[in-house]
A and B are shown apart, each in its own frame.
Chain A
Amino acid sequence: MGQVAIRRRGTSHAFARFIARRAILSVFVVFGVVVVTFFLSNVIPADPAALWAGPQARPEEVARIREKFHLNDPLPIRFYYYVAALVTGDLGTSIATHRPVVADLLDFLPATLELILAAMVIAIVVGIPLGVISGIRERSWVDHLVRFLAIGGVSLPAFWLAVLLELVFVNKLGWLPVEGRYTDSLAIATSFREVTGFVVLDALLQGNPSVFFDGLIHLILPAVTLAAYPVGLVARMVRAMMIEVLGENYIRTAKAYGLPARLIHYRYALKNAIGPAIVALGLSFAFSLTGAFLIENIFSWNGLGQYAWDSSLASDYPAILGVALVVAIVYVVVNLIVDIVQSVLDPRVVLAREAS
């Protein structure tokens, strides 16, 4: 027997190093976002102190508030105060609501997250099977239909779809509600309390089936609207990857060994095909964030989008910064998760990245 070498395998060391590097990079990115948004949000022409004090305030009052918020100091100093506060978890105080921005954010964030998560779930559950079937039956009518639907989904303007769905399902058919996350009267009647901010989760935890279903029903329309783009994206990605993977040598080997078609398609091929689809899903998150803001507006969904909208109207710059920061962090975390999932699915990714 000859000497044959075993190449360095993808040990947990390499994996941990990989994740660590990505995490550090993410921190830098978040910091970059903070810097950019801070300096640019100071281009706002309105006077924050005056806004804070309100239209009735006397000049001394406004001057005092200026002092209090360091508004007279030069920009770099203000940035220092901001970062110092940031490190202790203080995102400043909202000019409009006079509450800590962190508190405001915690109030509004779960709603948006719930919406986006629901959309992602729909994207996975609908998009992946469509993509697989389409990829297996390339060039058939099924394939053309799925391609058309997928491209259609990606082309739809979110706000337009929202309006359209509202017209059909709320006005014409009256099947679904249009406003808010749940019916207040129902919540009061069944003594429902928001704990985590995720209505569906809370209802589940409190054993409250009526609000649970009510919450789901309210969730359907906005989630489906938001899901149109990711579904299209995922289906297209999975289809393209399936076609590529099905042409690979190892699939030929699997066929040469008489493995059943379902096994080849849904295990052997799909596991290789799905990586880029997950990446695409993660990246569509960014698009979903945008879409979520618009959709929240239309469906009166009290999430970050509403908060950002109101804050920008009021030139409430701590709030705006807070939102930008949260959005960036969520974005970065999602990308990190996508990286982790990808390297779990395909062990070669870790080695490839290490080498580059």
Chain B
Amino acid sequence: MTHLLEMRDLTLDFETEDGVAKVLDRVSFDIAEGEVFGLVGETGCGKTVTALAILRLLPRTALIRGGAIRFAGENLLAKSDGEMARLRGSRMTMVFQDPATSLNPTFPIGDQVARVLTVHEGLDRDEALARAAELFGRVGLPDAGGLLRRYPHELSGGMQQRVMIAMALACRPKLLIADEPTTAVDVTLQAQILDLLLTLKAEFGLSVLLITHNFGIVAETCDRVGVMYAGTMAEVGRTSDVFREPLHPYTQSLMRALPRTGARGRPLQSIPGMVPSLLVPPTGCRFHPRCEFAMKTCAARRPELLEHRPGHRAACLLYEGVRE
């Protein structure tokens, strides 16, 4: 069965002033049609870079060393700039973390959304503006017609985020990437935005790649989830499986670190050590310096992402029968 999005062994370096940072190392996962896939991990683990890689929006200092990204069967890495530009904003769209700075401050929001429609679907300005108003209504913005003329700074954070979502849905994409869509927004709005995303996903029949560091959101909204650590994919599987039986030691530590109401009064569990530098990442498995189950081989051999339970992959030598 071919999935909507297939990422295989994506390896990516960044050239920096201090050297070459090995930002992504053999990252692989799939997203099926109509599913919500959560990409979860600590800050700096490469989630956003992965998303940008899909859209081919990386800066010139980014060098793809290997791997493939297939979208609807086509290899994105082989596409030209022009072909990618046609895909971006129409077949795959992205909602960014900070809506306040992600909208152009000198153009009215109606214009900005309409522009996407005129460029990708060839509508003329009036039609596009009418569609924009319609979309504003769909995402729950009041007085859609009046809003067309407003500037981004005249809206609150929640409204700005809805505008971004409207823009993302304008051309009925197959894949919507949401990069921490609720981080910049307060808690009451978080729930509304997530609800909105799920409703629209059902209505429009699209897949969502939801990037977040918040496990609560993952539990509520995602069908499947991928856990990333220091540029590698540690574990991928159905949300219920991963939560109930985390395979990778990192995931297990993360689950333990989550505060629970029952554990009130007891000290919080944290993971010892620090996130490694990507300039000189640990050899073998990148998690081994902090792993309580680390064996000698873990420093030497890099574990493959293998399906150790049905529909549930993990990259850990523990499950490969290695004993030391």
Answer whether A and B touch in the complex at a CB cut-off of 8 Å. yes
Known: A250-B101, A259-B119. A1 touches B87 (CB 8 A): no
Indicate if A10 sits at the interface (CB-CB under 8 A). Answer: yes
Contact present for B188 and A258 (CB under 8 Å): no
Which residues of the partner chain B approach A346 to less than 8 Å between Cβ atoms? Answer: 105-106
Contact present for B151 and A347 (CB under 8 Å): yes
Known: A10-B154, A272-B106. A2 touches B188 (CB 8 A): yes
Known: A2-B158, A268-B107. A252 touches B188 (CB 8 A): no
Indicate if A185 sits at the interface (CB-CB under 8 A). Answer: no
Question: How many angstroms from the CA of A9 to the CA of B98 in the assembled complex?
Answer: 21
Which residues of the partner chain B approach A252 to less than 8 Å between Cβ atoms? Answer: 57, 96, 102
Contact present for B104 and A254 (CB under 8 Å): yes
Which residues of the partner chain B approach A257 to less than 8 Å between Cβ atoms? Answer: 88-89, 93, 116, 119, 167
Known: A4-B142, A345-B106. A249 touches B57 (CB 8 A): no
In the complex, number of A-B residue pairs with CB atoms less than 8 Å apart: 100
CB distance from B15 to the nearest CB of A (A): 14
Which residues of the partner chain B approach A255 to less than 8 Å between Cβ atoms? Answer: 57, 88
Indicate if B156 sits at the interface (CB-CB under 8 A). Answer: yes
Indicate if B94 sits at the interface (CB-CB under 8 A). Answer: yes
Which residue on B lies nearest to A5, using beta carbons? Answer: B156
Contact present for A272 and B105 (CB under 8 Å): yes
Q: Interface range on chain B: under 10, 10 to 19, 20 to 34, or 35 or more?
A: 35 or more
Which residue on A lies nearest to B177, using beta carbons? Answer: A256
Known: A256-B93, A257-B116. A249 touches B98 (CB 8 A): yes
Interface bits A1-25 vs B (CB < 8 Å: 1, else 0): 1101111111000000000000000
Question: How many angstroms from the CA of A335 to the CA of B14 in the assembled complex?
Answer: 46
Which residue on B lies nearest to A275, using beta carbons? Answer: B106
Which residue on B lies nearest to A269, using beta carbons? Answer: B104
Contact present for B154 and A7 (CB under 8 Å): yes
Contact present for B189 and A6 (CB under 8 Å): no
Contact present for B115 and A272 (CB under 8 Å): no
Indicate if A99 sits at the interface (CB-CB under 8 A). Answer: no
- Which residues 77-107 in B have Cβ within 8 Å of A in the complex? 84-90, 93-94, 96, 98, 101-107
- Which residues 253-273 in A have Cβ within 8 Å of B in the complex? 253-260, 263, 268, 271-272
Which residues of the partner chain A approach B141 to less than 8 Å between Cβ atoms? Answer: 4
Known: A7-B153, A249-B101. A260 touches B119 (CB 8 A): yes
Indicate if B12 sits at the interface (CB-CB under 8 A). Answer: no
User: Which residue, B101, B141, B189, has most C-beta atoms of chain A within 10 A?
Assistant: B101
Indicate if A240 sits at the interface (CB-CB under 8 A). Answer: no
CB distance from B181 to the nearest CB of A (A): 14
Indicate if A351 sits at the interface (CB-CB under 8 A). Answer: yes
Indicate if A310 sits at the interface (CB-CB under 8 A). Answer: no
Question: How many angstroms from the CA of A6 to the CA of B160 in the assembled complex?
Answer: 11
Which residue on B lies nearest to A267, using beta carbons? Answer: B107
One of A253, A258, A263, A271 near B87 (C-beta < 8 A): A258
- Which residues 287-312 in B have Cβ within 8 Å of A in the complex? none
Indicate if A144 sits at the interface (CB-CB under 8 A). Answer: no
Contact present for A256 and B88 (CB under 8 Å): yes
Contact present for B106 and A258 (CB under 8 Å): no
Indicate if A193 sits at the interface (CB-CB under 8 A). Answer: no
CB distance from A353 to the nearest CB of B (A): 14
Contact present for B140 and A1 (CB under 8 Å): yes
Q: Which residues of B contact A (CB under 8 A)?
A: 55, 57, 84-90, 93-94, 96, 98, 101-107, 115-116, 119-120, 140-142, 150-151, 153-156, 158-159, 164, 167, 188-189, 192
Q: Which residues of A contact B (CB under 8 A)?
A: 1-2, 4-10, 248-250, 252-260, 263, 268, 271-272, 345-348, 351
Q: Could you write out 19 A-B pairs with CB less than 8 Å apart?
A: A4-B141, A4-B159, A6-B154, A6-B156, A10-B154, A248-B101, A249-B98, A249-B101, A255-B88, A257-B88, A257-B93, A257-B116, A258-B86, A259-B85, A263-B115, A346-B105, A346-B106, A347-B105, A348-B105
4 more contacts with CB within 8 A, not counting A259-B116, A260-B85, are A4-B159, A10-B151, A249-B96, A258-B89
